[in-house]
Amino acid sequence: MLTSGSKGQIQLQSLVTLLFIKYHLDVSSLCSETVRAFRGINSMASYHLSVKIGGKGNAFPHADYISREGKYARGKDSDLEHKESGNMPAWAVHKPSEFWKAADSFELANGCTYREIEIALPRELKPEQRLELVRDFVQQEIGDRHTYQFAIHNPKAAIDGGEQPHAHIMFSERLNDGIDRGPKQYFKRANSKAPELGGAKKARFGETQTERKGYLVAQRERWAGLQNQYLERHQHSERVDARSLKAQGVEREPERHLGAGQVRKFDTDQLQAVIERRDAERQAQHCRDERDSVIDVTTSLREAIFERDKQTENLAQQFEQEAVHDRTFDFEKEPEKLNELVPPHVRVVVASN
C-alpha cells in the first residue's frame, strides 16, 4: 500500500521510476497527472502550544472550567470530550478539585498554584487517538513528577462549524517526592535539610529568561514531533511545524483567535470578510504545499535510467569476460580448437606426434 509522508514519497517515486525503466519510456512523456501524484504529500496541519501560569485563588475555578464542573457545567451541548487526573495525593485521589482548593488556600502569597499547557489537537485523528496522544504527551512532559489534571474539549468553530479539538493540561509545580503530607503542609515552603517537615519542593523551568524561553521552544518541538508521529502512524499526510510563520517562510500575520462571543458581534459584512480571508490563506498555503512537495521526477528518472544503463554495461562486460575465460585451452593438446578461432585462410595444420 502506498502511504504518505517521507516514506510514501520514496515508495511512490520508486514505483514510477520502475515503470519508466521497465517499459523504456522517455522521461519527456511524463504527464501532468503523474506529477500531481507527488503533490500534497506533506500538507500542514494547524499547530498551537501555549503555557500559562495561575496565581493564588485561580486554581480551583480554572479546574472547574476545564472539567466543565460547577458553574461551567453544560448540558447536552457540552464540548467536553474527556477528563482525567493523575499523581494526586491520597486526600485528593477521588476528588481532584480538593487539590486545587488546597493550592488556592495554602500556597505561598506570591506563589504559582498551577501551570497550564494548552495544546491544539489534530482534527485528523479520531477521539480515542487524540486521547492516546494527550496521555503520551502528559507522560512525556509530566510523568510521575507532578500532580496533574487535563481535559479535552472539542467545540464547533464559530465561523466554519468545524471541530476545534484542544486540551488543557493543568499541573502543580510541586514535585512528588513520596512523602505523605496533608493539604496545608503540602504547599508550605520546602525544607531541604528535613524534607518531611516542609512542603513539596517546587520544580524550576529555567533560572533566567533565556533558559525559560529555551525550555519552551524545546517543549514546542517535542509536541510537534509527537503529533507528527501520530499523524504518520494513523496514515495522515498532514504534518505540524512548531516554528513561527516567519521561520517557515510564510509571509502573513498569525491569525487572532475569535471566540463565539466575538463572532456573534460581527455583522454580515465583517463575517464574510473573515471567511474570505481564511479561504484565501488556505488557498495560498495549499499552493505553497504543492510548490514545496513536488519532487523533481525528471531528474530522478534520468538518474535511475543512467544507473540501469551502467549496470547493463557492467553485466555485458562480465559476460564477455566469462566467455573469454571459457575459450581458454591448451592448444598443444587441443589443436582443433585453435582452428575454430581463426579464419580459414590462415588456419594451420598441427602435426600429430
In whole angstroms, what separates CA 73 from the centre of its chain?
33
In a domain, 266, yes or no: no
> How confident is the model over 76-105, as pLDDT tens digits?
778 999 999 999 999 999 999 999 999 999
Question: Does residue 160 share a domain with residue 55?
Answer: yes
Question: Does residue 236 share a domain with residue 316?
Answer: no
Predicted pLDDT at 74: 87
Question: Does residue 181 share a domain with residue 319?
Answer: no
| Torsion, CA 127, CA 129, CA 130, CA 135, rounded to 10 | 130
In whole angstroms, what separates CA 234 from the centre of its chain?
11
Q: Rounded CA gap, 83 and 124, in Å?
A: 20
Q: Please identify, among 242, 261, 279, the residue that sits at the C-terminal boundary of a domain.
A: 242
Predicted pLDDT at 191: 97
Q: Please identify, among 212, 242, 272, the residue that sits at the C-terminal boundary of a domain.
A: 242
Q: Please identify, among 214, 242, 270, the residue that sits at the C-terminal boundary of a domain.
A: 242
Q: Rounded CA gap, 57 and 28, in Å?
A: 70
Question: Is the separation of the CB atoms in 231 and 45 below 8 Å?
Answer: yes
End-to-end CA distance of the chain: 72
Question: Does residue 178 share a domain with residue 99?
Answer: yes
Name the residue with cell 488546597. Answer: 102
Question: Does residue 318 share a domain with residue 185?
Answer: no
In a domain, 55, yes or no: yes
- For residues 257-274, give the mean pLDDT: 59
Examine the pLDDT at 131 and tell me if it is beyond 70: yes
Listing DSSP states for 177-236 in one string gives -S----HHHHTSPP-SSSGGGS-PPBP-S-SSHHHHHHHHHHHHHHHHHHHHHHHHHTT-
In whole angstroms, what separates CA 31 from the centre of its chain?
32
Question: Does residue 324 share a domain with residue 194?
Answer: no
Cα–Cα distances in angstroms (integers) from residue 27 to residues 30, 31, 51, 65, in the given order: 6, 9, 52, 61
154 HSE (CA, 13 A, CB side): 17
Question: Does residue 323 share a domain with residue 192?
Answer: no
Predicted pLDDT at 161: 63
Q: Specify the 3-state DSSP secondary structure of 117.
A: strand
Question: Does residue 204 share a domain with residue 73?
Answer: yes
Examine the pLDDT at 232 and tell me if it is beyond 70: yes
Name the residue with cell 510563520. Answer: 245
For the ranges 14-18, 67-71, 139-143, the lowest mean pLDDT is seen at: 14-18
Question: Does residue 202 share a domain with residue 112?
Answer: yes
Backbone angles phi, psi at 195, to 5 degrees: -55, -30
Residue 66 neighbours by CB distance under 10 Å: 21
Question: Is the separation of the CB atoms in 79 and 155 below 8 Å?
Answer: yes
In a domain, 122, yes or no: yes
In a domain, 250, yes or no: no
Question: Is the separation of the CB atoms in 63 and 96 below 8 Å?
Answer: yes
In a domain, 303, yes or no: no
> How confident is the model over 283-332, as pLDDT tens digits?
665 565 555 555 445 555 667 677 777 777 777 777 666 655 555 555 56
Cell triple for 342: 581463426
Under DSSP, the state recorded for 44 is B
Predicted pLDDT at 306: 75
Can you give the CATH number for the domain in which 220 is found? Answer: 3.30.930.30
**E-strand stretches of 41-101:** 49-55, 80-86
Question: Is the separation of the CB atoms in 63 and 57 below 8 Å?
Answer: no
In a domain, 274, yes or no: no
Model-level pTM? 0.63
Question: Does residue 321 share a domain with residue 234?
Answer: no
Residue whose C-alpha is closest to residue 54's, from 181, 172, 218: 172
In a domain, 197, yes or no: yes
Which residues does the annotation mark as catalytic?
Answer: 65
Residue 291 neighbours by CB distance under 10 Å: 9
Predicted pLDDT at 19: 46
In a domain, 297, yes or no: no
Question: Is the separation of the CB atoms in 122 and 166 below 8 Å?
Answer: no
**Domains: count for the chain:** 2
Examine the pLDDT at 171 and tell me if it is beyond 80: yes
Question: Is the separation of the CB atoms in 240 and 47 below 8 Å?
Answer: yes
Between residues 186 and 352, the one the model is more confident about: 186
Q: Which domain holds residue 314?
A: 310-346
